[in-house]
Amino acid sequence: MPVSPNTSPDTLLQAYSGKVRVRVGGLLLRDGGMLLAGHRGLLPTEAPFWSPPGGGWQFGESIKEALVREFREETGLTVRVGRFLHLHEFSTDKLQALELFFEVIADADAQPILGHDPEHAADHQLLTDLQWLTPRQLMQLPPAQVHPLLRMMLSPDDLFVPQFRFV
């Protein structure tokens, strides 16, 4: 899906700015790597911001239903939601969210495909890429490009020790 390179970050994030959101995210591991979604608009450059697939919890759905929906929208994968792992407060000068991260399980032979955010027009998508990244690969990226939950992770096992982080 083509993405307009000239769309400003402020325009991309306008729907989320100045609001408190509840987000759900899924941690899917395979062969030592974790499936991560690259997003644009969160950094002053066009560098991607890597985070677990997920998104906003909508009125009328359970948290697990929200995670299954968001994972399917962003990755094309149908997942089963496992145990709750992390509670994280995400905050920037314009964005604020309470994030709930769960283990997710997908069929071993299922392959992810880059999806989309239905809240955004085709030329205003935040989602730009999907990759399986290892902790070593994440540590080689500038910290600003990596979700705070994933910074300083030495092993995928680190993600499966429940943590609660508040800024």
Return the pLDDT at 7. Answer: 52
* Domain contains 4: no
Return the pLDDT at 118. Answer: 84
Sequence-ordered list of residues with C-beta below 8 angstroms from that of 81, at least 6 positions apart, any chain = 26, 64, 67, 68, 102, 103, 104
* Domain contains 44: yes
In which domain, by residue range, is 115 found? Answer: 9-165
What CATH number is attached to the domain comprising 39? 3.90.79.10
User: Cβ distance 16 to 95 under 8 Å?
Assistant: yes
* Domain contains 54: yes
Return the pLDDT at 18. Answer: 61
Separation in Å, CA 127 to CA 19, 158, 165: 20, 26, 25
CA distance linking residue 127 with residue 167, whole number of Å = 25
Return the pLDDT at 94. Answer: 75
In degrees, rounded to 5, the angle at the alpha carbon of residue 132 between the alpha carbons of residues 117 and 16 is: 30
Low-confidence spans in the chain with pLDDT less than 50: 1-6, 8-9, 11-12, 166-167
* Domain contains 128: yes
The structural domain count of the chain equals 1
Return the pLDDT at 1. Answer: 33
CA distance linking residue 105 with residue 30, whole number of Å = 10
Return the pLDDT at 125. Answer: 84
Is the overall model pTM greater than 0.75, yes or no? yes
* Domain contains 35: yes
Return the pLDDT at 155. Answer: 77
* Domain contains 3: no
* Domain contains 141: yes
